Each structure stands twice: as structure tokens, then as C-alpha cells.
């Protein structure tokens, strides 16, 4: 509600000696012990407020009303027309006229702002309180989930048992063997390399389930007695980084070959079951995983 005459009159009230009521001091406004301000009694309950409560029109009698804008209250005369409220305020000796149209919600100022009638204002306040309560509930749930994920991020790489170990076979020329050990939180790999010049080396690594995004089917890779894992070099979970720890001469090889189809299927099934159990144990954490 853009009440320019009120703003002009407010300046007069504050800066002339003829005012009837001095403005409230900053000290009084800031005091938590001050009682709520006294308000005029509405004539037949006819009081209209903006949603935020800064602009108010209160009919105090059959021909007088109070207009409040941003804490400044003015005494005015009014008349009711067919579909509007005509308000007269005298500013510097000059009458100023404001119009408010009667609408279903209450009054509508000429600038489009709605001043709500008592019931509509009460409904709007109840809706605001409900929205605020819902917002606080969502914030609390967000905080609870964040704390739960943070705790899961601590626990999800703590190994409590080893499920099984399976011998690895050649899956590329330099890799001649090794061992895959499946725990309840990771795949541990031990590689044996033999190079064309006759030299060799061993490599060890750990792939946490947090870094694995997909397990391929047996026979989908090369060689036939193998399956693939899609995993990144690590995963971020709730701000924590899980690196794949690589040992000497280790390379991130996604194809894991076994000595037979039976061995490949057995390792695949044990790994799939271990990962499924891990996801059940850390359901919220799984949704937060970002692998690359």
C-alpha cells in the first residue's frame, strides 16, 4: 500500500511541535520488557491488515479511522461508497484522498496491495505458522539425515569379516595370477605380474564398495571366465574421500579373470551378495555416493 500522503504527514508529525503523541524512543522499542502497543478498538470489528502487518486500516467509528504505515498512525475521516472506502487525511492543511476497494479478502489499495479482513488475516497467519513449522521440520530432518550419513561414512569402510577368497587368472598378458578377497565392505586384490623381459612384481589394492557403481555379468568381459567392475579411483561421501589404495606396479584393471567359469560365477555371486548387504546396512549413504 503506497500511501504517499501518509508519508508526508508522518514527516510533519515527527518534525513539528504540534503533534499529540511523541514517537516511541529506540530504547523503548528495543526493550524486551515493554508491553504490546495499545491499539484502537475496531468499529464492529472492521480492521484490515497487510500480511506482514505493517499497513493497517482500522475503522474506529462510523466516520473515523486510523491508518497505520510502518509504525506511524494517522487519524482520518472516511465514508463508505458503493464498492470503495474513501479516506480523507489532511496534510499541511490540504485534504488528501485515498481510496480502498472492497474485495472478498478485505480492502485493496490503489497500488494493488490487499489489506485482509480479520478472518482472512487469521487464516493467512495460520498458514504462515504451518509453513514455518513444516520448514523447521524439514530442516530438522535434513540435519538428522546429515548426521546419520556422517556416521555411516565413518562405518562403511570398517571391515568386520572376510567372506571368501578366489584365485585370479590371466586377464591381460602381464597379469599372470593373484587373489580376490571379498570382505563385507571391500574387494581386496593381490596381483602377480610377469613382464616380457622376465621381471615381475606384485600389486595390492582395496576397492571399497562405496566406489563400485556396477558389477558386470560373468562372460560379458574378455576372457570368458571373467566379470567386470565399474569403479572410480575413489568416491566422495558426505565430504569424505575413499581412495582406492594401489600397491607397487598396480593398475586399475576393471576386468577380473578367474581360472574357470565356476570360479568366476562363485566370486561374482559372493561379491554381489556382499554389496547388496552393504547397501541394506547403509541405505542413506548409497544415495549420497558420487563416483567418478
pLDDT averaged over the chain?
A: 78
Cα–Cα distances (Å) from 81 to 42, 102, 111, 163, 225, in that order, read: 19, 10, 19, 86, 91
pLDDT at 196: 77
Domain ranges of the chain: 4-16+40-124, 162-291
Q: What are the pLDDT digits (tens) for 199-216?
A: 878 888 888 888 787 888
> For every one of its 292 residues, what pLDDT tens digit does the chain have, with 9 covering 90 and above?
554 544 444 333 333 333 333 444 444 455 567 776 666 666 667 999 999 888 999 999 999 999 888 878 888 999 999 899 999 987 677 788 999 999 999 999 988 999 999 999 999 999 999 999 999 999 999 898 888 877 777 788 889 999 999 998 876 677 778 899 999 999 998 888 877 777 878 888 888 888 787 888 888 766 778 888 877 655 555 555 555 444 333 334 477 888 888 999 999 999 999 999 998 988 877 666 543 3
What region does 112 belong to: left with phi over 0, alpha with psi -120 to 50, or beta? Answer: left
- Percent of the chain's residues with pLDDT above 90: 34
Number of helices and strands (H, E) in the chain? 5, 19
pLDDT at 106: 94
C-alpha cell at 57: 486500516
CA-based R_g, the chain, Å: 38
pTM metric for this prediction: 0.51
Pick the CATH number of 162-291 from 2.30.30.140, 3.40.605.10, 3.40.50.300, 2.30.29.30: 2.30.29.30
Residue given cell 598378458 in the structure block:
173
pLDDT at 239: 53
Cα–Cα distances (Å) from 1 to 13, 38, 113, 217, 292, in that order, read: 20, 23, 5, 68, 54
Q: What are the pLDDT digits (tens) for 82-135?
A: 899 999 987 677 788 999 999 999 999 988 999 999 999 999 999 999 999 999
Pick the CATH number of 4-16+40-124 from 1.20.1070, 2.60.40, 3.40.50, 2.40.128: 2.40.128
Amino acid at each position: 500500500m503506497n500511501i504517499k500522503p501518509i508519508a508526508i504527514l508522518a514527516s510533519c508529525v515527527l518534525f513539528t511541535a504540534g503533534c499529540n503523541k511523541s514517537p516511541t524512543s529506540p530504547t523503548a522499542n528495543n526493550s524486551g520488557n515493554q508491553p504490546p502497543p495499545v491499539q484502537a478498538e475496531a468499529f464492529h470489528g472492521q480492521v484490515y491488515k497487510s500480511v506482514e502487518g505493517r499497513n493497517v486500516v482500522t475503522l474506529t467509528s462510523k466516520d473515523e479511522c486510523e491508518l497505520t504505515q510502518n509504525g506511524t498512525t494517522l487519524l482520518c475521516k472516511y465514508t463508505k461508497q458503493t464498492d470503495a472506502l474513501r479516506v480523507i487525511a489532511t496534510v499541511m492543511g490540504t485534504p488528501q484522498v485515498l481510496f480502498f476497494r472492497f474485495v472478498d479478502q478485505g480492502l485493496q489499495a490503489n497500488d494493488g496491495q490487499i489489506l485482509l479482513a480479520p478472518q482472512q488475516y487469521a487464516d493467512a497467519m495460520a498458514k504462515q505458522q504451518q509453513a514455518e513449522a513444516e520448514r523447521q521440520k524439514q530442516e530438522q530432518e535434513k540435519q538428522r539425515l546429515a548426521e546419520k550419513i556422517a556416521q555411516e561414512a565413518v562405518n562403511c569402510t570398517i571391515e568386520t569379516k572376510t567372506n571368501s577368497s578366489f584365485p585370479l587368472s590371466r586377464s591381460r598378458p602381464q597379469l599372470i595370477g593373484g587373489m580376490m578377497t571379498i570382505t563385507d565392505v571391500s574387494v581386496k586384490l593381490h596381483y602377480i605380474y610377469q613382464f616380457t623381459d622376465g621381471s615381475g612384481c606384485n600389486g595390492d589394492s582395496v576397492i571399497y564398495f562405496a566406489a563400485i557403481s556396477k558389477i558386470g555379468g560373468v562372460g560379458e568381459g574378455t576372457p570368458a571366465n571373467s566379470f567386470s567392475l565399474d569403479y572410480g579411483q575413489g568416491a566422495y561421501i558426505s565430504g569424505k574421500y575413499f581412495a582406492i589404495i594401489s600397491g607397487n606396479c598396480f593398475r586399475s584393471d576393471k576386468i577380473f579373470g578367474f581360472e574357470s567359469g565356476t570360479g568366476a560365477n562363485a566370486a561374482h555371486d559372493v561379491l554381489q551378495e556382499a554389496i547388496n548387504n552393504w547397501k541394506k546396512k547403509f541405505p542413506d549413504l548409497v544415495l549420497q555416493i558420487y563416483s567418478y
